[in-house]
Amino acid sequence: MIWWHVALPGVLAITGLRIVLLAYNRTDLFVDEAQYWLWGQELSFGYYSKPPLIGWVIRAATDLAGSDAPFWIRLPAPLLHGVTAIILGASAARIYGARPAILVALAYITLPMVALASLLISTDTVMFPFLAAALALYIRLLAEPRWFVALLTGAALGLAALAKYAAVYYLLCAGLAAVLLPWARPNWRMAALVLLGFLFTLSPNLVWNVFNGFSTVQHTLDNADWVRDPGARASLNLGGLAEFFVSQFGVVGPVLFGALLAMTLRWARLESEYRLFLLFAVPIVAIVCGQALLAQAYANWAASAYLAGTLCAVPWLMGRHRAWLIASFVFNGAISLILPLSTLAADSLRLGGNLALERYVGRVEMTGEILDAADETGLDIIVASDRDVLADLFYSGRYHPAIVYAPPTAGRAPHHYSLKFPYPGGTEPLLYVTRSDHPVPCPEDAQQFARVAPETGAYRRHPQTIYVVPGDCFSGD
């Protein structure tokens, strides 16, 4: 049996269905997606909070399509996950054979995290194909220690890191595997070539960081701010740890995550290939658990663990617990169908009285209210204090004549808009938009024009107030 004769049609069918449903998706671009689109408008080797690859991918997709509608911005997501599934299938075929390869590819493409990430564009999604390729090449390198395989392994990992720095976890995992598994220990020459390929590929972003105050690195440290001052900022957050750990059962499905836990407990009795893949999965989850315990961690922060996690959990279940593997496909398959279908009714589907996808609707409407205010007042400068509002103003207001800025700030910029689009100052009146419970920079001269308080959507809990203020009211102008 040639594994991809079965796996490829299955992956293509699921990906094709996702693309069709994506065309009818009624959610607005999320704040991060709108920001990634904006990055792509000015191609660079780095951006405020992430490496550059996601901006490049979105720019390529929208240029090829001749449109920057949400569908085209998000289209790379299901396509990239389809590619990742096939690469993982190829790795499984090399290690286990044809049948496990088919199941690994299909298991990955139906993971809950993949189903969700196929509905929007994210840095994890752009990272995954290159991370899967790096793992596949590393497996080959251990069997065939050749210089070009080592360089390709490093280059693939470098490309993954150009999407998200979480790819660096794989260097730590490879080092741990070399310590614990003698057969997974490449010689020093091969290891050096992997590192050389990695650093060479990542070097444009490293140089960009040097000339931009290490902006991306600083933001990465912000996500783990206890690192800067452990004595003052680190504290035990047992609730956060429990929340993150439980969330992982939803990220990859309860059966597959449960299988990874069971395999970890049975480490001494596992075959060597299972141990290798576990070492590229479990340490990542453990590191993020540590972050959750000391501060906080979002559910997707350990997503890179589940490429290798799928490569070990699925074949292990196939050989020992087939009924559980079937149950996993049923559960994850149902989630994979429910999630995209829910976006078709994003503006009406309710749970407990509120919109189920509240965070993903109402953004365009808020921008429309603000732009209407600009038209009514005849003002062509808008300054907004809220990053979410700024993100959609730049995207949804891209064809409006108004110029959008962030308020000027002292010290390090808190986000991309503050870094690249600070209000330069002036005397002409402008619109200032801020959360209704936030102060106005010049209250004695500010005139309230409107208050926007939606009853549903992303701003239901965060109403905005629109003021007309003098252009010179911001401090430091």
Q: Which 8-state DSSP code applies to residue 182? A: G
At 475, is the pLDDT very low, low, confident or very high (cuts 50, 70, 90)? low
Strongest mean pLDDT among 226-240, 321-335, 418-432: 321-335
Q: Outline where 66-187 has alpha helix (H).
A: 70-74, 76-95, 98-109, 112-117, 123-143, 147-163, 169-180
**222 found inside a domain:** yes
Length of the chain (residues): 477
Asked if 158 and 277 sit in the same domain, the reply is: yes
SS3 128: helix
**351 found inside a domain:** no
Calculate the average pLDDT of the chain: 92
Asked if 229 and 367 sit in the same domain, the reply is: no
Asked if 301 and 366 sit in the same domain, the reply is: no
Judged against a pLDDT cut of 90, whether residue 341 lies above it is answered with yes
At 220, is the pLDDT very low, low, confident or very high (cuts 50, 70, 90)? low
Asked if 93 and 166 sit in the same domain, the reply is: yes
Asked if 156 and 223 sit in the same domain, the reply is: yes
Q: What is the torsion angle, in degrees rounded to the nearest 10, for the CA atoms of residue 261, residue 266, residue 272 and residue 276? A: 30
- Tell me what the mean pLDDT of segment 292-321 comes to: 94
Judged against a pLDDT cut of 70, whether residue 422 lies above it is answered with yes
Asked if 397 and 302 sit in the same domain, the reply is: no
What does the pLDDT look like over 171-180, one tens digit per residue?
999 999 999 9
- CB count in 10 Å sphere of residue 65: 13
At 83, is the pLDDT very low, low, confident or very high (cuts 50, 70, 90)? very high
278, 312, 343 - which closes a domain: 343
At 223, is the pLDDT very low, low, confident or very high (cuts 50, 70, 90)? low
Asked if 271 and 368 sit in the same domain, the reply is: no
**415 found inside a domain:** yes
Asked if 187 and 144 sit in the same domain, the reply is: yes
Judged against a pLDDT cut of 60, whether residue 227 lies above it is answered with no
Asked if 328 and 216 sit in the same domain, the reply is: yes
Which residue in 424, 357, 364, 421 sits closest to 388, CA to CA?
364
Judged against a pLDDT cut of 80, whether residue 203 lies above it is answered with yes
Structure-token pair, residue 368: 């429309």
**350 found inside a domain:** no
Among 19-23, 46-50, 401-405, the minimum mean pLDDT is found in 46-50
**71 found inside a domain:** yes
At 477, is the pLDDT very low, low, confident or very high (cuts 50, 70, 90)? very low
Asked if 453 and 306 sit in the same domain, the reply is: no
Range of the domain at 224: 3-343
Judged against a pLDDT cut of 60, whether residue 226 lies above it is answered with no
**395 found inside a domain:** yes
What does the pLDDT look like over 117-161, one tens digit per residue?
999 999 999 999 999 999 999 999 999 999 999 999 999 999 999
**38 found inside a domain:** yes
Asked if 316 and 414 sit in the same domain, the reply is: no
- CB count in 10 Å sphere of residue 54: 28
Total domains in the fold of the chain: 2
Asked if 417 and 307 sit in the same domain, the reply is: no
